[in-house]
């Protein structure tokens, strides 16, 4: 799914198109759960590893939408919350790679972090509505 979106939302993509594709990717991540590749697979899908996800550099892209938003201040604040949520997803997914300490991670511990990561993606999904409202969508 990610590879199919990449050409349409490359680095030079129009910010609104990237935002629309990012929203679809969040829905797809939840629909496709569990994500292939474990923690790194999740991180690829949320745009913190690699550059193929529509969520890659979403903060930079969405900052360009602030002046055009119906409520620029609310959009900027919602964007800040959205970016923080991406960081939480990334942190949980990253931690799943190292759960259980050095050496081979414990599958049980890794699973806990993966599930926490899913919870953070669900929280991320809830932050889309306030962004769209402030944007005037």
Show the tokens assigned to 100.
Answer: 């259980």
pLDDT for 83 equals 98
Reduced to 3 states (helix: H, G, I; strand: E, B; else coil), residue 137 is coil
pLDDT for 114 equals 95
In this model, does residue 28 exceed pLDDT 60?
A: yes
Q: Please state, in angstroms and rounded to a whole number, the distance separating the CA atoms of residues 2 and 10.
A: 12
| Residue 97 domain-assigned (yes or no) | yes
Q: Is the peptide bond before 34 cis (omega within 30 degrees of 0)?
A: yes
Show the tokens assigned to 25.
Answer: 């990717």
Domain that holds residue 43: 15-135
| Residue 125 domain-assigned (yes or no) | yes
| Residue 42 domain-assigned (yes or no) | yes
Q: Please state, in angstroms and rounded to a whole number, the distance separating the CA atoms of residues 61 and 19.
A: 8
Work out how many domains the chain is built from and give that number: 1
pLDDT for 82 equals 98
| Residue 58 domain-assigned (yes or no) | yes
pTM (2 d.p.): 0.84
Average pLDDT (92-110) is 74
| Residue 49 domain-assigned (yes or no) | yes
| Residue 41 domain-assigned (yes or no) | yes
Task: Give yes or no for a contact between 86 and 55, defined as CB atoms under 8 angstroms apart.
Answer: yes
| Residue 4 domain-assigned (yes or no) | no
Q: Please state, in angstroms and rounded to a whole number, the distance separating the CA atoms of residues 125 and 137.
A: 16
């Amino acid at each position: 799914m990610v590879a199919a979106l990449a050409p349409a939302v490359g680095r030079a993509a129009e910010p609104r198109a990237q935002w629309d594709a990012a929203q679809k990717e969040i829905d797809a991540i939840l629909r496709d759960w569990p994500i292939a590749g474990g923690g790194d697979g999740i991180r690829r899908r949320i745009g913190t590893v690699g550059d193929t996800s529509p969520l890659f550099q979403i903060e930079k892209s969405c900052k360009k939408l602030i002046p055009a938003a119906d409520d620029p201040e609310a959009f900027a604040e919602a964007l800040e919350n959205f970016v923080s949520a991406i960081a939480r997803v990334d942190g949980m997914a990253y931690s799943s790679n190292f759960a259980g300490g050095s050496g081979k991670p414990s599958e049980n511990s890794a699973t806990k972090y993966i599930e926490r990561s899913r919870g953070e993606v669900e929280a991320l999904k809830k932050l889309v509505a306030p962004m769209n409202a402030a944007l005037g969508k």
